[in-house]
């Protein structure tokens, strides 16, 4: 019995010795592998950094830079969300150019943070193609309708976009509490910089607009830092001879003026709307675009196109043209 147990004890202590030795060998091999792997990563990092534009290299440094990027992006979106909101009021109406205008303006607005686009159609029912395009573009929007009253439709010179803009103003009265609004016709051209600047309007801000009237522009005249008059090819007895694309208004300032409204008076829409915002002294007008020395908005006009002729279904049924015809306004 004693011998057997001794043999057993000896063999088990051999086993322990062997296990310890194996463990040691394994640890050495593992450590060597780890060191080799680490060195490989280091050399790869250096290689990638030397290779060029890539800042990140090995797995470790990539993880750190990814974390930093996420952090920076979060910070950025928090900053953007805290910007005063911008409400862009755009009148639009059914015509061959409508979808093209909406698309062009929409992708401009896509670069503007914290914006709500109020797209208001001069129509009895919203155009489904416009809704679809607004969804595709992806700028936050409200799609509203406000048909021009029948009595104005018969006039030779119609007050264009007035019912729409007043609908936009009613939406703001009901829903907005702060920020700034701007009337952006669907066919004009806007430098992104003007949105950065108009966002901080405290009362009413103004700036030059290119391509208006025979003077080629419309702008406040600035002397000693304040408005001393207006330069516009057509004054027409207006107190504010400015273009619709050349001013923005603070939401709170507007809300404190419950009677402010745009009149159905062709040619006098801007003037009478601005007057309805009174009292407003010329010295209170905030001058943007480097004290009105730059042009950041243009009153562009799109060439009018004739209505498309209906598709000859006898000839083209069963082709792509059947579908394309449905996309034409």
Which residues in this chain contact Mn ion in the complex, by CB under 5 A? 185, 187
- Closer CB to Mn ion, 232 or 286, in the complex: 232
φ and ψ at residue 145, rounded to 5 degrees: -125, 150
The candidate with the shortest Cα–Cα distance to 142, out of 112, 123, 167, is: 167
In the list Mn ion, ligand UGA, none, the entry touching 93 (Cβ below 5 to 8 angstroms by class) is: ligand UGA
Task: Report, in Å, the least distance between residue 116 CB and ligand UGA.
Answer: 17
- Closer CB to ligand UGA, 42 or 100, in the complex: 100
- Closer CB to ligand UGA, 58 or 186, in the complex: 186
In the list ligand UGA, Mn ion, none, the entry touching 266 (Cβ below 5 to 8 angstroms by class) is: ligand UGA
Q: Using the rule CB under 6 A, is 149 a contact of ligand UGA?
A: no
3-state secondary structure of 90: strand
Q: Using the rule CB under 6 A, is 12 a contact of ligand UGA?
A: no
From 266, 280, 311, 329, residue interacting with ligand UGA (rule: CB under 6 A): 266
Task: Report, in Å, the least distance between residue 124 CB and ligand UGA.
Answer: 13
From 118, 119, 185, 246, residue interacting with ligand UGA (rule: CB under 6 A): 185
The residue annotated as part of the active site, out of 121, 270, 284, 286, is 270
Task: Characterize 262-285 residue by residue with b for buried, 16 or more Cβ atoms within 10 angstroms of its Cβ, and e for exposed.
Answer: bebeeebbbbbbbeebeebeeeeb
Q: Residues 148, 139: contact at Cβ < 8 Å? A: no
From 104, 160, 238, 275, residue interacting with ligand UGA (rule: CB under 6 A): 160
Gap between the Cα atoms of 174 and 144, Å rounded = 14
From 85, 159, 168, 208, residue interacting with ligand UGA (rule: CB under 6 A): 159
Other Cβ atoms closer than 10 A to 321: 13
User: What is the gyration radius of the CA atoms in the chain, in angstroms?
Assistant: 34
Q: Residues 292, 181: contact at Cβ < 8 Å? A: no
| Tokens at 233, concatenated | 């090819």
- Using alpha carbons, list the distances in angstroms from residue 308 to 95, 294, 326: 10, 39, 11
Q: Which stretch binds ligand UGA (CB under 6 A): 6-14, 22-30, 78-86, 158-166?
A: 158-166
Max CA distance (Å), the chain: 127
Gap between the Cα atoms of 90 and 186, Å rounded = 6
Q: Is 79 a catalytic site residue?
A: no
Binders of ligand UGA in range 291-310 (CB under 6 A)? 299, 301
From 164, 197, 201, 250, residue interacting with ligand UGA (rule: CB under 6 A): 164
Q: Which residues pair with 181 in a beta bridge?
A: 87, 249
**Catalytic site residues?**
270
Residues found near ligand UGA in the complex (CB under 6 A): 91-93, 122, 148, 158-161, 164, 185-187, 243-244, 266-267, 269, 299, 301
């Amino acid at each position: 019995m004693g011998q057997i147990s001794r043999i057993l004890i000896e063999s088990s202590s051999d086993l322990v010795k062997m296990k310890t030795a194996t463990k040691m060998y394994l640890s050495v091999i593992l450590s060597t592998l780890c060191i080799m792997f680490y060195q490989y990563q280091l050399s790869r990092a250096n290689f990638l950094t030397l290779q060029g534009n890539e800042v990140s290299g090995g797995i470790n440094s990539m993880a750190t830079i990814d974390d930093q990027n996420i952090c920076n992006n979060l910070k950025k979106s928090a900053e953007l969300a805290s910007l005063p909101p911008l409400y862009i009021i755009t009148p639009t109406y059914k015509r061959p150019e409508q979808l093209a205008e909406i698309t062009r303006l929409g992708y401009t607005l896509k670069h503007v943070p914290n914006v709500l686009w109020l797209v208001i159609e001069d129509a009895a029912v919203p155009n489904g193609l416009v809704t679809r395009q607004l969804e595709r573009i992806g700028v936050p929007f409200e799609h509203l309708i406000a048909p021009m009253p029948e009595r104005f439709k018969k006039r030779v010179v119609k007050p264009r976009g007035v019912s729409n803009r007043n609908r936009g103003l009613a939406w703001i009265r009901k829903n907005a509490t702060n920020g700034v609004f701007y009337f952006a016709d669907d066919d004009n051209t806007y430098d992104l910089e003007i949105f950065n600047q108009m966002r901080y309007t405290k009362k009413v801000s103004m700036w030059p607009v290119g391509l208006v009237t025979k003077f080629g522009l419309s702008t406040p005249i600035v002397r000693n830092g304040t408005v001393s008059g207006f330069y516009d090819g057509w004054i027409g007895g207006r107190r504010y001879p400015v273009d619709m694309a050349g001013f923005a208004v603070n939401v709170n300032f507007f809300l404190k003026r419950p009677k402010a409204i745009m009149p159905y008076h062709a040619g006098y829409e801007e003037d009478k709307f601005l007057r309805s915002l009174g009292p407003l002294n010329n010295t209170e007008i905030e001058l943007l675009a480097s004290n009105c020395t730059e042009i950041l908005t243009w009153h562009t006009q799109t060439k009018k196109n004739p209505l498309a002729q209906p598709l000859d279904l006898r000839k083209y049924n069963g082709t792509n043209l059947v579908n394309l015809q449905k996309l034409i306004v």
